[in-house]
A and B are shown apart, each in its own frame.
Chain A
Amino acid sequence: MMNYFPDEVIEHIFDYVASHRDRNVLSLVCKSWYRIERWTRQRVFIGNCYSITPERLIRRFPGLKSLTLKGKPHFADFSLVPYDWGGFVYPWIEALAKSRVGLEELRLKRMVVSDESLELLSRSFTHFKSLVLVSCEGFTTDGLAAIAANCRFLRELDLQENEVEDHKGQWLSCFPDSCTSLVSLNFACLKGEVSLGALERLVARSPNLKSLKLNRSVPLDALQRIMMRAPQLADLGIGSFDHDPESEAYIKLKNTILKCRSLTSLSGFLEVPPHCSLAAIYPICPNLTSLNLSYAAGIQGSELIKLVRHCVKLQRLWIMDCIGDEGLGVVAMTCKYLQELRVFPSAPYGNPAAVTEKGLVAISMGCPKLHSLLYFCHQMTNAALITVAKNCPNFIRFRLCILDALKPDADTMQPLDEGFGAIVQSCRQLRRLSLSGRLTDQVFLYIGMYAEQLEMLSIAFAGESDKGMLYVLNGCKKLRKLEIRDCPFGNMALLTDVGKYETMRSLWMSSCEVTVGACKSLAKKMPMLNVEIFNENEQEDCSLEDGQRVEKMYLYRTLAGKRKDAPEYVWTL
């Protein structure tokens, strides 16, 4: 029936369909819908930059305006992927520049971004508006200077947790006076200084600026002047909060904060004085929906607790574990609308005032709307997890990291199978799960049985046999990403259902029991997969015998074939 509608009508209807998934489904209905969909598609998400070539993407979606690309495997975040593995954005920008794509937005995660690529980007797309770089590396402030100088209609420059080399070139001063379009500027991850005068002038001429995140080089007095010029800010990242409580600058700041009634999101506090008091912030806390103090290492637990008591509207809280179980109890009492909680360790191996299962249980009792959790803690119990599962059946993301990876239930000494089992059984919408603590194959049986919506699973130091991995591969029909480290899963688990991997984005296995021979066999059976093994052996002897255990394997489905930019230690079988 729909075929009798003119294309324009169908296009108009498609305008209302925004999500990538829905769009993908539309394109599969029939040839004419495929055709209309590809011409009207503006936003594309590529979860693995090696799954398709840029040329092929551009051919299919000539109207592309916004591209999101992800590069390295997730475990690269934890230094498990060697340097130079790949994920270079340059070929993408080059291909887009050559084509007639009017790129306006580029969002990259875990990619290698060179200054050259930023320069090319800045010169190639007249209407380029938005650059978001998350966990990327390879560029310096020179590349940022090119973006600032050349992107005349830039609205967003958002740098999150990137390793950026500072070349002291005053990149921020490169924004021309004619640039007045900024809506969002985040340079919190930069280590070097910026010209404070240029920053203040930039803020003054950006009436649409809603989000500003400063780095630690921006001192308190500059912060105060900036806030005076931008009372419309909704999202603020404070760089340095280091001050003398008696100083005039601090008193001025306190008064300025009172005027910032639009602030709903606060982060930063990258530099704080010893015994830092956050009293200056209390007046705006009741308006906050998002608070990220996960980099505010100097703030004591007691001060965090005092602050949180004012944050009655909080929906998102990222905090350090020095808040303690007691502090989480206060969060539970105060933040009734909490949806997302992340508790980070203040020292990689722990802290006496850190959090345990008690804090998590308290949160689950007080915050029924909680759906996303990342929780680093010292210990956990099955009883606590069962309680949490009962109280919060709405979890979409549940990531628990017990710092001692092999630790069992702190009370019963049993593995934590039952606890995680309760989570997957109760939280039917669970899409992402990270496990830790002592776990047998039983937990995977539960996951395979109950986690029907699970898309991403992270496993470390868990399981007893191939059965564990097989339960997951057989049971989780919607699984897209599986990452496993230090588990006794081997060839049988890997090879039992090779077709499964074509339904997934990727599989990572490191320090498991798979051998070279099995990987070769898999690669042979599945030409649509790239099976990469990393041979980080220093020796020149390059022959890998079939029986040899593979230290790291990363496989992913792809339409692009074997990649040409792999370094020497990567063997694509």
Chain B
Amino acid sequence: MGSYESELNLKATELRLGLPGNDEPEKRSCSLRSNKRSSLESGVEESRCKTNVNSHASDSTTTSDHDQDSVQPAKVQAVGWPPIRSYRKNSLQQKKVECDGNGMYVKVSMAGAPYLRKIDLKVYKSYPELLMALQTLFKCTFGEYSEREGYNGSEYAPTYEDKDGDWMLVGDVPWNMFVTSCKRLRIIKGSEAKGLGCL
């Protein structure tokens, strides 16, 4: 499923403090835009920005990969944007927190780690969230996911044991299906990962 490629675009989670257009090769047009943007964005950055303002804004949307870019966080991050009622916002987030004892805790092991961890799968709504949590927990990075090659270009890859006892690569099946069939997780090293990717 091609959509998972873009879901796992972890570039979105990188902290960026650079100037607009810094790392994008394509810079189409508009002195108009940069004039306005600098005053607006400095306003945004000054007063209300969260730390990772992706200020390479519209330039990145000029790339052809609309799918990938559409997943990145909003280019303007400011209080009260997007304009969703706080009740609605809280309600969406609450679904993660209020799992009242019916949490879906699974063990997570990593090759070489002294002890295992446990995480509640119900807390996450999608693969990117889960992967980000795992990377934070174990201080490792997974590469870019692709159907063809698994997690390419990284030291580690996430795998899980399913209901049938088989070890599967995280990310192949729809999220909900994964959540209901995952019995435990294991983070394996790159060399092992390549093996899996070739299956």
A78: Cβ under 8 A from any B Cβ: yes
**Can you list 25 A-B contacts (CB < 8 A)?**
A77-B86, A78-B79, A78-B81, A79-B80, A297-B125, A345-B84, A349-B82, A350-B70, A352-B3, A352-B6, A376-B82, A379-B66, A379-B70, A403-B82, A404-B58, A404-B76, A405-B75, A406-B75, A406-B76, A410-B61, A413-B58, A434-B83, A460-B83, A461-B76, A486-B78
B107: Cβ under 8 A from any A Cβ: no
By a CB distance below 8 angstroms, the chain B residues around A458 are 83
Interface size of A in residues (CB-CB distance below 8 Å): 54
8 A Cβ contacts from B82-111 to A: 82-92, 94-95, 98
By a CB distance below 8 angstroms, the chain A residues around B31 are none
Task: Contact check, B70 vs A352: say whether CB atoms are below 8 A apart.
Answer: yes
Task: Contact check, A349 vs B3: say whether CB atoms are below 8 A apart.
Answer: no
Q: A486-B44, A511-B43 are in contact. Are A410 and B85 (CB under 8 A)?
A: no
Task: Contact check, A80 vs B79: say whether CB atoms are below 8 A apart.
Answer: yes
Residue with the highest number of chain B CB atoms closer than 10 Å, among A346, A354, A460: A460
Task: Contact check, B180 vs A275: say whether CB atoms are below 8 A apart.
Answer: yes
Q: A413-B28, A486-B40 are in contact. Are A407 and B84 (CB under 8 A)?
A: no
- Cα A191 to Cα B90 in complex, Å, equals 12
B67: Cβ under 8 A from any A Cβ: yes
B73: Cβ under 8 A from any A Cβ: yes
Task: Contact check, B37 vs A406: say whether CB atoms are below 8 A apart.
Answer: yes
Task: Contact check, A350 vs B71: say whether CB atoms are below 8 A apart.
Answer: yes
Q: Shortest CB–CB separation between residue A270 and chain B, in angstroms?
A: 8
B62: Cβ under 8 A from any A Cβ: yes
Contact of B80 among A80, A403, A407 (CB under 8 A): A80
Task: Contact check, A352 vs B81: say whether CB atoms are below 8 A apart.
Answer: no
Q: A79-B79, A162-B87, A413-B62 are in contact. Are A352 and B73 (CB under 8 A)?
A: no
Task: Contact check, B40 vs A354: say whether CB atoms are below 8 A apart.
Answer: no
Task: Contact check, A406 vs B80: say whether CB atoms are below 8 A apart.
Answer: no
Contact of B75 among A162, A354, A404 (CB under 8 A): A404
8 A Cβ contacts from A332-362 to B: 344-354, 356
Task: Contact check, B78 vs A297: say whether CB atoms are below 8 A apart.
Answer: no
- Cα A161 to Cα B84 in complex, Å, equals 12
Q: Shortest CB–CB separation between residue B35 and chain A, in angstroms?
A: 8
A438: Cβ under 8 A from any B Cβ: yes
- Cα A351 to Cα B92 in complex, Å, equals 13
B32: Cβ under 8 A from any A Cβ: yes
- Cα A551 to Cα B48 in complex, Å, equals 11
Task: Contact check, B58 vs A408: say whether CB atoms are below 8 A apart.
Answer: yes
Contact of B47 among A295, A345, A353, A551 (CB under 8 A): A551
8 A Cβ contacts from B26-71 to A: 28-30, 32-33, 36-37, 39-40, 43-44, 47-48, 57-58, 61-62, 66-67, 70-71
By a CB distance below 8 angstroms, the chain B residues around A473 are none
- Cα A183 to Cα B94 in complex, Å, equals 30
Contact of A440 among B7, B32, B70 (CB under 8 A): B32
Closest to B91 in A: A295
Q: A77-B85, A352-B6, A551-B47 are in contact. Are A405 and B74 (CB under 8 A)?
A: yes
B196: Cβ under 8 A from any A Cβ: no
A300: Cβ under 8 A from any B Cβ: yes
Q: A352-B70, A486-B44, A551-B47 are in contact. Are A78 and B85 (CB under 8 A)?
A: yes
By a CB distance below 8 angstroms, the chain A residues around B7 are 352
Q: A274-B180, A405-B76 are in contact. Are A347 and B58 (CB under 8 A)?
A: no
Sample of 7 further A-B pairs with CB below 8 A, known A189-B87, A191-B98, A274-B176: A352-B71, A353-B3, A378-B70, A403-B82, A404-B58, A460-B81, A460-B83
A75: Cβ under 8 A from any B Cβ: yes
Q: Shortest CB–CB separation between residue B47 and chain A, in angstroms?
A: 7
By a CB distance below 8 angstroms, the chain B residues around A376 are 82, 84
B179: Cβ under 8 A from any A Cβ: yes
- B residues within 8 Å of A by Cβ? 3, 6-7, 28-30, 32-33, 36-37, 39-40, 43-44, 47-48, 57-58, 61-62, 66-67, 70-76, 78-92, 94-95, 98, 125-126, 174, 176-177, 179-180
Closest to A78 in B: B80
Q: A350-B74, A406-B75 are in contact. Are A464 and B88 (CB under 8 A)?
A: no
Closest to B84 in A: A348
- Cα A161 to Cα B74 in complex, Å, equals 25
By a CB distance below 8 angstroms, the chain B residues around A488 are 36, 39-40
By a CB distance below 8 angstroms, the chain A residues around B125 are 297, 347
By a CB distance below 8 angstroms, the chain B residues around A461 are 40, 76
A557: Cβ under 8 A from any B Cβ: no
Contact of A161 among B29, B44, B78, B87 (CB under 8 A): B87
By a CB distance below 8 angstroms, the chain A residues around B98 are 191
Q: Shortest CB–CB separation between residue B89 and chain A, in angstroms?
A: 6
A485: Cβ under 8 A from any B Cβ: yes
By a CB distance below 8 angstroms, the chain B residues around A410 are 61, 66
A94: Cβ under 8 A from any B Cβ: no
- Cα A189 to Cα B75 in complex, Å, equals 31
Residue with the highest number of chain B CB atoms closer than 10 Å, among A191, A406, A464: A406
A401: Cβ under 8 A from any B Cβ: yes
By a CB distance below 8 angstroms, the chain A residues around B71 are 350-352
By a CB distance below 8 angstroms, the chain A residues around B177 are 274-275
Closest to B9 in A: A352
Q: Shortest CB–CB separation between residue A414 and chain B, in angstroms?
A: 9
A135: Cβ under 8 A from any B Cβ: yes
By a CB distance below 8 angstroms, the chain B residues around A163 are 87, 90
- Cα A191 to Cα B100 in complex, Å, equals 12
Closest to A487 in B: B40
- Cα A297 to Cα B88 in complex, Å, equals 11
By a CB distance below 8 angstroms, the chain A residues around B6 are 352
